[in-house]
Amino acid sequence: MITITVSNKLEITGLPAEWVNWLQKVCTYDILSPNPEIIKLYDLEPSRIVVPRGLESLIVNSLKEKGYIVEIVDATERGEENNFTVQPHINYTSEDWGYQGVAIDNLLKHRTGRLEAPTASGKTCIACVAIAKLGVAPVLFLTMRDNLLDQFKEEVTNVLGIPKKEIGVIKGRKLDIKPVTVGSLPTIGSKNFMKNKIDQIKDKFAVVFFDECHRSKAITYRESILQLNPSRLYGVSATPEEFVHQDTLRLMEALLGPIVVRIQESDIPGRITPSVYLRQTGLTFLFEKPHKPWEQHIKRLNVHRNLMDCNDRNNIIINDVEKILLNDSKNQILICTILVEHAYILYQMLKKRGIECCFPYKITKDPFGDIDKSKLDAKQQKEDIKLLETGKKRVLLGTYNAFQEGFNCKSLNTVMFVGAVSGKNHVRNYQVPGRCTRKFQGKENVYVIYYTDSSFPETKLQDWAEDFRQYCTNKWKKNVEIIPPPT
């Protein structure tokens, strides 16, 4: 008989040698980026092999198909029944919650697995209602970013009626466990926490949600997953599998299990499908073929800097901003750049045109007046979002990194990608527009504009634009309109 003991990992005894060899291959991952590395997630001893618990269904099903008898021993933390204080208007039937109710019911059929859902589809709300339906505690919700911690606390208060002061927090030096607790992955995955404090929490939680689980290849992420021992272990992400490298996807499945719930854009009623445009500038830039692999990043960076320094191109962008703002008083624009310096240049140009806009960065300059250092100011960003949502300002500038997970400004309805469009990196070009599809009073349309250029002797910029046009057509199920260069 083969025995599988389920705890923070799977401990398997009685496994034939050929199956041990198979599991070693399954648990070896060749990660290509950002730094190439081979990750092995198994421990091999003479009488047993230990592997991540996300592989439980794969292993059990594979063994049973071959006629093996498998005994499952559950050594996970079961938690205790807990009566959550919930808002009286909340109803937990699938019918009343629509697509979210169906997702909740399907998620709770599994003890491990992942929820994949588009940006602004209510993933945090789904997690909160799932917590209430389970009725066990303690529960831990882990994420990478502080703003997501704050958002989850707000959602717990809004949906479950639990005051913020009664929500536990694991962050920095604070370790306060309550029936519902939020935790910082950088804190829990740090060397100091793993060495001195992990034993205080690893058997404490009955349910754990890992937010943004597509980042699970990060060592802080995977070490946290491998240490915790909940009865139910779930991953949540808005990043579609198509954007994840194959070995990274295999790693994610090993740690958290397969996707058990997938919400599509078409499942969400009232969703605004963006109108996508490729804005041709009519300008040509030098793009040389890299001779060595390490030169590739340098060549791309040079292209981005050439785009940034082109006054004609920047004027095209600023003129377009003016036209969009004048066309409809409800239009609000998010300008995405690759480089902070480019956002700052456009910010200064807009100010000279009398357009008040938001630039939530702290910058220091060198003696020549150029940006030496820059840092996103989270407090200023929150204040800027309030100015936008109250209509006091209508333009927000920044890099892609400023508008990643946790960014939420419902009033924005136009996204302008002014860097070089890369056909091979669609995820940021897909997720940022998704953050503008949230419902907001008076919002009827969402516009996404990508600026495209030509290059020589390599035609990379043209190739990327065409690749991206085809991608957008397939993704949004709409034809991408081409806006010709200004005359």
CB 114 within 8 A of CB 258: yes
DSSP symbol at 486: P
- Look at residue 94 and tell me whether its pLDDT is greater than 60: no
The stretch 417-445 carries a mean pLDDT of 74
CATH class of 2-74: alpha beta
Is pLDDT larger for residue 456 or for residue 231? Answer: 231
Strongest mean pLDDT among 154-158, 245-249, 312-316, 483-487: 312-316
Where residue 12 falls among pLDDT bands split at 50, 70, 90? very high
* Mean pLDDT estimate for the chain: 85
What value does the mean pLDDT take over residues 454-466?
Answer: 80
pTM: 0.82
pLDDT confidence bin for 88, thresholds 50/70/90: very low
**Which of 5-9, 115-119, 246-250, 254-258 is predicted with the least confidence, judged by mean pLDDT?**
246-250
DSSP category for residue 470: H
Buried b (16+ CB within 10 A) or exposed e, 203-223: ebbbbbbbbbbbbbbeebbbb
> Looking at residue 379, what is its pLDDT?
87
Whether 321 has a pLDDT exceeding 80, the answer reads: yes
Residue with tokens 């960003």: 381
The predicted pLDDT at position 311 comes to 95
Query: Residue 303: what residue type?
Result: V
Position 89 pLDDT exceeds 60: no
427-456: average pLDDT: 81
User: 174 versus 159: which is more confidently predicted?
Assistant: 174
Q: Start-end ranges of CATH 3.30.780 in the chain?
A: 2-74
Q: Quick one: average pLDDT of 200-215? A: 91
Q: How confident is the model over 261-273, as a mean pLDDT?
A: 82
Task: Please state, in angstroms and rounded to a whole number, the distance separating the CA atoms of residues 108 and 76.
Answer: 17
Burial class of 366 by CB neighbour count within 10 A (0 to 12, 13 to 18, 19+): exposed
Name the segment(s) of the chain with CATH classification 3.40.50.300.
80-267, 275-483
- From the options 3.40.50.300, 3.90.1150.10, 3.40.470.10, 3.40.50.620, give the CATH code of 275-483: 3.40.50.300
Q: What is the pLDDT of residue 403?
A: 83
Please say whether the beta carbons of 304 and 342 come within 8 A: yes
pLDDT at 122: 82
CA dist 396 and 336 (Å) reads 9
Average of pLDDT values for 318-331?
A: 94
Q: Is 80 exceeded by the pLDDT of residue 231?
A: yes
Q: What is the pLDDT of residues 391-426, one digit of tens each?
A: 999 999 999 888 877 788 889 999 999 988 765 555
Share of the chain above pLDDT 70, in %: 89
Select from 250, 251, 254 the least CA-distant residue to 233: 254
With a pLDDT cut of 90, the percent of the chain lying above it is 45
Highest mean pLDDT among 25-39, 194-208, 258-272 belongs to 194-208
Inform me whether the pLDDT recorded for 73 exceeds 80.
Answer: yes
Lowest mean pLDDT among 120-129, 426-435, 464-473: 426-435
How high is the pLDDT of residue 348? 94
Q: What is the mean pLDDT of residues 127-132?
A: 87
Helix (H, G, I), strand (E, B) or coil at 36: coil
Q: Which of 75-79, 80-84, 317-321 has the highest mean pLDDT?
A: 317-321
Rounded CA-CA distance 180/160 in Å is 10
- CATH class of the region 80-267: alpha beta
Scanning 212-339, the segments in alpha helix (DSSP H) are 219-227, 246-256, 295-309, 311-327
SS percent in the chain: helix, strand, coil, step 5 = 40, 25, 35
Question: Once rounded to an integer, what is the mean pLDDT over residues 203-226?
Answer: 88
